[in-house]
Structure formats: C-alpha cells, structure tokens
Amino acid sequence: MSHYYPQASELQVSEWINAAEAPSLAGLSGRVVVIHVFQMLCPACVSHGLPQAALIHANFPREKVAVLGLHSVFEHHDAMTPAALRAFVAEYRLRFPIGIDRSNPNGGIPLTMHAYGLRGTPSLILLDKAGRIRLQHFGHLEDLIVGAAIGQLIAEDLPAELAKPAREAENRDGCGPQGCQPA
C-alpha cells in the first residue's frame, strides 16, 4: 500500500534571523526538516516548543536534519515586532534559522500559517528528505516521540526519482547534496 504525502510549499518569510542566506525547503532536499512554528508570547512555545527545537538542533547531525523556526504572529502584533524577536532570539540563545512569517496584506492569519492550515502555536511540521509533509501537529509532542519520528525519517531512503538528479550533479562537478569534494 502506497501512502500519499503532500509536498511542502516554501515558507513565506519576510526576514530570517540566524541565517547568512535565506534557507529554502528546496535547498534542504536530502535532509529531514523540522519546522517549529511559534510566537514568542506563547507560553507553550517558550516552555516546550522552542527548547525542543534547540535540542533537536544541538543533537542531530546538520547534514541529516535541518531545524527551522517560524515566528507566526496572529495576535499581539504590536508587541511581537522583528526587533523584539531578534532580542528574544538572542536572550534565549536560539541558534537555528528563524523566519518571520509574512503577514497577510488583508489582515488575519500570516501567509505560511494559512497555507499550511495551522491551527495555532506551537505547531510542529516534519518533512522527509524529499520535502514531503510527514507530520503536522498542533500543540506539544513529547521529545521521545519527536526524536523517534526524526530517526525513522533519517533511516528512510530518498526516493530514487529524487535522488537521481543529485547523483548526476555529483558526477558532473564533484558536488552533491553533502557538499563538494576535490576531483
């Protein structure tokens, strides 16, 4: 029996913190991607979601797992500004890239939050190596459950149709999904 897992759409971000270049989901292909969606004034985000994201970032190899934060503000807009978020990120010593969900020009739910149909914060999204949504959860999940899910996704083989272009590119110029090697 084959399962259908939807392809994740790119995050709609107005600004990135802790990232020299804006990360893209397409650019993270070949890695498991963990997206923690939060608001800095959300108690469960501060006590559970962000510490969990920091633990994942600290304990899984970066070449296998990428952690992204997404600050998705749907309330208290005046208090949760980009400047306040930068201070929050520094104060809590968050080291993974954090994007600011682009606000909806018509008001209401920010664009990525709306596109993914998220119910609130904290929310956790796990993408497999092919960029498909394998878990989307509102609320807190225990660390052991999340770690096991990430481990299972790491152990899966990348589908052949997606792995082939990376192998061809590696053969052409010595560069592949893990980086470049001298010829």
Domains of the chain: 13-158 (3.40.30.10)
pLDDT value at residue 135? 97
pLDDT value at residue 177? 44
pLDDT value at residue 32? 98
pLDDT value at residue 77? 73
CB 11 within 8 A of CB 25: yes
What is the mean pLDDT of each successive set of 10 residues along the chain, which is 183 residues long? 81 96 96 97 95 98 97 84 95 97 90 95 97 96 97 87 47 42 40
CB 158 within 8 A of CB 65: no
The 8 Å CB, 24+ separation contacts for 26-30 are 26/131, 28/66, 28/127, 28/131, 29/129, 29/130, 29/131, 29/162, 29/166, 29/177, 30/129, 30/158, 30/163, 30/166, 30/177, 30/178
pLDDT value at residue 162? 60
